[in-house]
Amino acid sequence: MINEKVICAGFGGQGVMSMGQLLTYSGMVEGKQVSWLPSYGPEMRGGTANCNVMVSDTMIGSPIITNDATCAIVMNLPSLDKFVADVAADGLVLVNSSLIEKKVERSDVKAVYIPANEVANELGNPRVANMVMLGAYIELNAPVKLETVKDTLKKLFGGAKSHLIPINEEALEKGAELVRK
């Protein structure tokens, strides 16, 4: 049974909202119950941004995640500091180790360190670091299928943005490869 409660967090401009929306839309495509609740800091680009995403096989009572997140995907240090406490015991903390040198100090959660910015730079587009993180998360917790996410990308990035689909798909795959056992 799937009941994922995910916090995606980082600076504005790191694609945390896009990451959350893509996960939400993919869950919807698969017929799951979903919720997406954004929260913006004072500035769009450079300020803090986060969203709460839920993907579940059962009805969602509230879109707010408080101390019971199954995962936090953190793109920067302020986000790690702010949201690590909101992850439930036995939850997952995905850390963008390209920008965060600090280690997760909790022993009751699984911390996975992903060099998302470095991988994105190797792929030739630093803006796909969010997709590297999302690919890793999907591989680890499987709330939706990676193929569904790729299909959803095609719907979201149609028209003028269609040239961005291949690099985003590649970033999703690279993220999944990094954590594949």
pLDDT for res 157: 81
- pLDDT tens string for the chain (181 positions)? 899 999 999 998 899 999 999 999 999 999 999 999 999 766 555 567 999 999 999 999 999 998 899 999 999 999 999 999 999 999 999 999 999 999 999 999 999 999 999 999 999 999 999 999 999 999 999 999 999 999 999 988 878 888 999 999 999 999 999 999 7
Q: What are phi and psi of 27, to 5 degrees?
A: -65, -40
Domains and CATH numbers, the chain: 3-179 (3.40.920.10)
Complete DSSP assignment for 32-82: -EEEEEEEE-SSSSSSEEEEEEEEESS--S-S---S-EEEEEE-SHHHHHH
What is the dihedral sign for C-alpha 60, 85, 146, 49? positive
User: Is this model's pTM higher than 0.75 or not?
Assistant: yes
The three-class DSSP label of residue 28 is helix
pLDDT for res 40: 78
pLDDT for res 43: 54
pLDDT for res 16: 95
Tokens representing residue 156 in the block: 């979201």
